[in-house]
Structure 1
């Protein structure tokens, strides 16, 4: 029960700050409901992510082990937390790791339930004239209490293997789709970035904007190339690791292919703003997915830990790492893409409208949407969706549901929970899920290049 009390304490502190944080958001952000609502919902997601990350910090395991059934030290004959490159004593139940991962599963389960609930409630909301529009854009403190209540209740889920095994596969599937969504957001971001700097370069007398695009393009390609070389050095062996050699070689070849396609004359004619900047970022993101996939290979000779690489094979002294470098990079990309998803529909860019629209989504303007609550009070968000929603409420919550699953898998390093042996194990299916994401991501980017050429009469802006 210690973890429940700790969760309640965190929730109580957060509830005290919830009203203040919401007021700050209202006073600092664009004052329209469509943007502000997305921002606050994503704030809840980031808050839940911070609490989940806290569960695996050193020192938390003493509180989490007090929860009945979280870790039975008297049973099991497993090897503890099986982490590549780290030696753990045999027949030692490592509760320090397993309880933290179980807590992350429950916290992210609560967030997933919260957002799936709103995804169902908000189905087919056409405008804020619908009574459910008020629920979407208000009652923030009550929503926060609902999230806290689900979170506390999730810690009473039995600690047997059924919940963890089922939720692992649910999280794997949800994360698969969320990774693809991240790539769509990155492609749209780079298109907007390239278009903006090209237009500024045309309007200015100097070529500094073009030089900036060139510098970032070269930097991204250089990082991708260095990453590929390092992968060959540390994640392959002369007579072993055939899968890794295949993954690295194929993804380097595919990245080079889409880069060539992006500058073909017909593609440039159909999409003047398409270029190597977008391809360089996609290539770098593909290298990250390749690294992430190889980091889950259960073959430890092909999957050294970062600590063993830095210490040149020194291992970890029998200590298990609670942090993971590719997981940290994944969280950084997640935060960036989440914030990008919030703000992209507040202006002319419409990536989230494309992802979540039901056919009637329209641009929302920030001009004329500000009202003062008083000379000293915060601004009130004005209703800019009376004639039609700027995004699909239901699908937006579904995307946050997928994000919750992605957070869970990232914080637990995509390890499969083996409750019978009290271990978190890497599995080859996880490797193939991640590497398949990289191939589908490259395929999606290739489609954005060739679709305007194949269908010239359609609007792909």
Structure 2
């Protein structure tokens, strides 16, 4: 009896927390419930990882008197703090989203209940599971770090594609507004494009100043920007825009800066042990990742509206067929009307779960949970086996990944510029 009451209390508390968060989100952003739930998961990831960094990295002295209760591995009482704690929390969140993903495959009311509610139980699960990982040996998490590096590379490629799409959508929307005769949009387009190219130029200049020993990488980056701009001006892609090219130029230049500042040589890298550079990159990467996740939330908004419209048309057609077949107008009772309304509401509520929307979203969040650990630790640079608490250290791996990201992004964007000319039949 007591257990039943306790479970009901926990579920009720979790529901109220979720409802309060959703009300605040809806008040400020006027989002739908589906978008609010997805946003809640994104904020959950960010808040938990931020808490982990602060609690296990910046205020480690607080735990000195409590380390005996942590059961840290290898007999070293503080080895489960710092960098090890980041990997442990990333592992917990990864398993958390895999479990929810399994429930999403059910595609019914159980999936909806697990996804939309039980938030307090979810927080308790994460906290208890994390405490349990403190008793797991670091050898296990070395394997998890290797898996996370591969998964994060895939997620990074996914993020690059998203950003190319975002830059195109931004440029296309402003171009349509200009074509519709909205006052000031021509000046806004010119100003935005000029600003992006100016920012890219300034950062390239500073890259030459800060990393004068790696000038070849900077020259390659500038050559790529010039090539993309020239190709865009040929107009092979009707949707191409200087604004999108300017945004890509800023993105690849930042990735080049991030790579050069991660080069594992203190003699030619002035940011080798710079804590300020570490914080700036973590903040910028966090913002970039958050924007990509927000895009995922609202990318399917139009598709959802179309699905609901099809659903409404289907119901309208059924009613029309019923009238034509019976040749008379049936007076429905209030009970029948209520049952029909409930059935329609139920159908609409379950519509996102009957598709793969939430399955795809939780797959993305699974990869994101591993990527966030790589983002915080500069692609697993600090060793988990030593008692160091360094979070963001230069390494050859992080250098290669970031340079590779810059060049892959340039290559993909270049392809979008020439694809309509190379494959005209497909695009026509």
Give me the TM-score of the superposition, normalised by structure 2.
Answer: 0.75
Could you tell me how far 1:60 is from its partner in structure 2?
A: 3.3
Work out whether 1:339 is the aligned partner of 2:321.
no
- Change in CA separation of 1:15 and 1:232 when aligned onto 2, cut-off 3 Å: farther
Quote the residue 1:291 is aligned against: 257
Could you tell me how far 1:209 is from its partner in structure 2?
A: 0.8
The match for 1:193 among 167, 170, 181 is: 170
Q: Which runs of 5+ in 2 are unaligned?
A: 1-12, 313-344
Q: Which runs of 5+ in 1 are unaligned?
A: 1-12, 75-94, 238-243, 309-319, 351-360, 369-379
- Change in CA separation of 1:322 and 1:30 when aligned onto 2, cut-off 3 Å: same
Could you tell me how far 1:402 is from its partner in structure 2?
A: 1.7
Quote the residue 2:270 is aligned against: 304
After the TM superposition, which residues 175-214 of structure 1 pair with which residues of structure 2 at under 5 Å, given as runs? 175-204=152-181, 206=183, 208-214=184-190
The structure whose residues are more often helix, as a share, is: 2
Quote the residue 2:362 is aligned against: 397
Quote the residue 1:274 is aligned against: 240
Partners in 1 of 2:176 and 2:362 — Cα distance? 35
Deviation per residue, 1:395-449 (Å, 9 max, x gap): 2211112211221122223352334543455321221122112111112222222
Quote the residue 1:374 is aligned against: none
Partners in 2 of 1:259 and 1:327 — Cα distance? 29
Could you tell me how far 1:322 is from its partner in structure 2?
A: 9.9
- Change in CA separation of 1:122 and 1:107 when aligned onto 2, cut-off 3 Å: same
Could you tell me how far 1:285 is from its partner in structure 2?
A: 0.7
Q: Which has the larger radius of gyration?
A: 2
Runs of 4+ with >6 A deviation: 13-16, 70-74
- Change in CA separation of 1:25 and 1:381 when aligned onto 2, cut-off 3 Å: farther
- Change in CA separation of 1:419 and 1:178 when aligned onto 2, cut-off 3 Å: closer
Partners in 2 of 1:167 and 1:136 — Cα distance? 26
Quote the residue 1:246 is aligned against: 216
Quote the residue 2:321 is aligned against: none
- Change in CA separation of 1:198 and 1:105 when aligned onto 2, cut-off 3 Å: same
Partners in 2 of 1:457 and 1:189 — Cα distance? 25
Give me the TM-score of the superposition, normalised by structure 1.
Answer: 0.70
Quote the residue 1:35 is aligned against: 35
Judge conservation of contact 1:362–1:388 (CA < 8 Å) in 2. no
Partners in 2 of 1:322 and 1:157 — Cα distance? 33
- Change in CA separation of 1:151 and 1:302 when aligned onto 2, cut-off 3 Å: same
The match for 2:96 among 95, 100, 114 is: 114
Quote the residue 1:240 is aligned against: none
How many positions carry a matched residue from both structures? 378
Could you tell me how far 1:98 is from its partner in structure 2?
A: 8.7
Q: Which moved more, 1:424-433 or 1:136-145?
A: 136-145
Partners in 2 of 1:362 and 1:16 — Cα distance? 31
Partners in 2 of 1:194 and 1:52 — Cα distance? 38
Partners in 1 of 2:42 and 2:34 — Cα distance? 13
Structure 2 SS opposite 1:417: coil
Quote the residue 1:136 is aligned against: 115
